[in-house]
Amino acid sequence: MEVTASAPGKIILFGEHAVVYGSAAIAIAIQTRARATVKSIPEKRILINARDMNLIEKIPLDQKAIEFKLKERKMLTPILNCFSIIMQQAELNHGIQLELESDIPIGAGLGSSAAVSVAILGALNELLDMKMDLETISSNALEVERSVHGTPSGIDNTISTHGSAIYYKRGEMQKVRVPFNIPLLILNTSIPRRTGDLVSLVRRKYISNRSVFNSIFQAIDKISSKGRFLLERGRLSELGELMNINQGLLDAMGVSTPPISDIINEIRSLGVLGVKITGAGGGGSIIMLCSPRNTRKVARRLSKSHDIIQTSLSSDGLKIEKKME
């Protein structure tokens, strides 16, 4: 049997970092997706072919070999940890071939590692008839996220599994109804960084200034609640205003950098409603909200010197694309 499953990337509209400390955040699934195709093979190995990541690997199907490989190639962490988890929960008496494709840029703050994990776990769930529900797939993907970057809040795996837009706080999610086609423009700075490093940076700053950071996190919690209210009513310019405030607070947390500030100022000069980092910061991606009549013009102007992704909300989370006996 052969199964293809896909899962979306995401943007965080409000609340990154603060969500790790229990504040609310809002995430939106986007149209860019990771796709995993798995099939059983007689040889007792895991064959991995991930062209976008430049990875072709052949690994014996046992925990020790996986651990050894993990030390050797960090890039394989999300993929192999998915297999580790599955091998603890199901008996595998055959090998598996995995083909991975992804439109989500890696290290850009768009949830690529969570989408890859959710797609692989979803595909293996179907192939091995494991009957995991979405909650179990999401919590297994959270385990994988922990191995990739330490202390994730759980928002990335949750949005990638469920799709649409979510309000997320302390491990609980509520769907947010977005009654209009929200125009999403993303600028990928292509400045590489690791989410785990940025989360640790904020942790260090938090430890040396707890009460100040608690106030910042409280303000962001309020931004997310108000943002949810405005999102459900399509009040774009007020949402933009909140994005600008959230960006100021991210700057105060130390996850913006001079090159990011330069790009943000350039974007502001084009008259957008709101602009901010999305995800961990330190590089990665910047999102902006424009009035519907301005979106294409802004995209065109920025495309001359930046990598721009024009996308929209994806209501699909984890999806089985194909199943062949």
- Which positions touch ligand MEV (CB under 6 A)? 12, 16-17, 19-20, 152-153, 155-156, 195, 199, 279-280
Contacts of 114 (CB under 8 A, 6+ apart): 7, 10, 141, 145, 156, 157, 159, 160
CB of 12 to ligand MEV, least distance (A): 6
CB of 61 to ligand MEV, least distance (A): 30
Name the residue nearer to ligand MEV (CB basis): 31 or 40: 31
CB of 310 to ligand MEV, least distance (A): 21
**CA-CA distances (angstroms) from residue 314 to 15, 32, 227, 274?**
20, 9, 19, 21
156 annotated active-site: yes
Name the residue nearer to ligand MEV (CB basis): 18 or 46: 18
Q: Could you tell me which of 297, 305, 247, 306 has the C-alpha nearest to residue 272? A: 297
Distance CA 118, CA 178 (A): 24
CB of 19 to ligand MEV, least distance (A): 5
Distance CA 34, CA 215 (A): 37
**Ramachandran category for residue 81: left, alpha or beta (phi over 0 → left; psi -120 to 50 → alpha):** alpha
CB of 218 to ligand MEV, least distance (A): 16
Q: Could you tell me which of 179, 253, 242 has the C-alpha nearest to residue 215? A: 253
**Of 103, 133, 156, 307, which one is the catalytic site residue?**
156
CB of 24 to ligand MEV, least distance (A): 12
Name the residue nearer to ligand MEV (CB basis): 251 or 321: 251
Contacts of 219 (CB under 8 A, 6+ apart): 245, 249
Distance CA 314, CA 29 (A): 5
Strands 95-102, 45-50: parallel, antiparallel or unpaired by DSSP? parallel
Distance CA 190, CA 285 (A): 8
Name the residue nearer to ligand MEV (CB basis): 83 or 217: 217
Name the residue nearer to ligand MEV (CB basis): 4 or 278: 278
Distance CA 226, CA 246 (A): 12
Name the residue nearer to ligand MEV (CB basis): 200 or 295: 200
Contacts 24+ apart (CB under 8 A), 242-248: 242/14, 242/274, 243/13, 243/14, 243/273, 243/274, 243/275, 243/276, 243/287, 243/288, 243/289, 244/274, 244/275, 244/276, 245/219, 246/14, 246/15, 246/220, 246/276, 247/275, 247/276, 247/277
Tell me the catalytic residues.
156
